[in-house]
Amino acid sequence: MFKKITTLALCLSMLLGFTACVAQNSDKTADGKLKVSVTFNALYEFTKAVGGDKVEVSTVIPDGIEPHDFEPKAQDLVALSQAQVFVYNGLGMEAWAADAIAAAGNSKLIAVDASTGVSTITESDNTAAHGQYDPHIWLSLKCAETEVSNIKDALIKADSANKDFYEANCSEYTEKLESLYNDYSGKFSSIEKKSFVTGHAAFAYLCRDFGLSQKSVEDVFAEGEPSAKQLTELAEYCKSSGVTTIFAEEMASPEVSQTLAGAVGAKVETIYTIDSAEDGLTYLERMEDNLSKIYDSMS
């Protein structure tokens, strides 16, 4: 891993050297928009919600690519040499971020660890690929509020002339997050069943929001498939708990969820992980769809 990151930093430094004369490290577009680079879709949504028409946002990780497995090439990160703000999730989600920031050589770049201030969940079974903490904070409405606030602060730091604009947008979006949270907080508190089964162990923060628990088909963060023993234990859990729905994610081995569903006579429902753009829906629309399906599976 260290060798890969060192090579990336060297290649990026060389590539940025070639592009510097052309880019001249301009921090705004021709029409005066702030240049912002983000790592994946959920952060794009948050940044656009706060920045509106004052920002031009580019995404490092292409849609359809599993962020856990993404290894950037130098050309993927050239935007950092021209951006004024770089937003990444943190908590080990982008192991390459610090080296990319250093290699960019952009003295004006404001780097935003969007997880700052979040109460983290420790993953005792996590692999070295992600470190100590579960990084899936964007799938929590409460953590999303923190991420949005961190992004707002960075945009104000980069573009203080539009402080009121960014603060108003942040407040408006936070109210929408709060409204959705309050709606489902009441719904989940009214039912006895509190657990659901999903393919990817990505929903611990969402579960914390609403006092729920998840059982994951896969072992750790979409890496590897469960053993026969684990699959048998999950099947027994589903049968004893009356589980009628198995949730699957398109980029996290949905065939394993299909296998489990077949073994226990359950149906398979798609759930959004919001690390890529999906079905032309916004973050709020996808979160509401997730919560609605989870609630329906329990009630």
Predicted local distance difference test score (pLDDT) of residue 167: 98
pLDDT digit string, tens, across residues 115-150: 999 999 997 543 344 568 999 999 999 999 999 999
Nearest to 251 by CA among 294, 204, 218: 218
pLDDT in tens, 179-227: 999 999 999 999 998 999 887 789 999 999 999 999 877 643 344 566 7
State residue 109's pLDDT score: 96
pLDDT in tens, 239-266: 888 888 988 887 655 677 787 788 888 8
Per-residue confidence (pLDDT) for residue 199, from 0 to 100: 78
Residue closest to 176 by CA, chosen among 9, 75, 45, 272: 45
Which residues touch 203 (CB under 8 Å, ≥6 apart)?
136, 139, 214
Amino acid in position 35: K
> Are 49 and 168 within 8 A, CB to CB?
no
Q: How many residues does the chain have?
A: 299
Give per-residue burial for 3-37: e unless 16+ CB within 10 Å, then b.
eebeebbeebeebbeeeeeeeebebbeeeebbbbb
Q: pLDDT digits over 54-83, tens only? A: 999 999 999 988 887 788 888 888 889 999
CATH 3.40.50.1980 positions along the chain are 2-162, 181-298
Q: Hey, what CATH topology would domain 2-162 get?
A: Rossmann fold (3.40.50)
Residue 91 exposed, middle or buried by CB count within 10 Å (0-12, 13-18, 19+): buried
Q: Looking at the domain that runs over 181-298, which CATH code has it been given?
A: 3.40.50.1980
Q: How confident is the model at residue 10 (pLDDT cuts 50, 70, 90)?
A: low
Distance CA 12, CA 136 (A): 28
Output the pTM of the full model: 0.86
* Cβ 283 vs Cβ 40: under 8 Å: no
**Average pLDDT of every residue of the chain:** 85
Give the confidence band of 19 by pLDDT, cuts at 50, 70, 90: very low
Q: Which tokens go with 214?
A: 């998840």
Dihedrals phi, psi of 196, to nearest 5 degrees: -145, 165
Sort residue 119 into left (φ over 0), alpha (ψ -120 to 50) or beta: beta
Q: Which amino acid is at 243?
A: V
Distance separating alpha carbons of residues 112 and 109, to the nearest angstrom: 10
Of residues 15 and 287, which shows the higher confidence score? 287
Instruction: Judge residue 192's burial from the number of C-beta atoms within 10 Å of its C-beta, 0-12 exposed, 13-18 middle, 19 or more buried.
Output: exposed
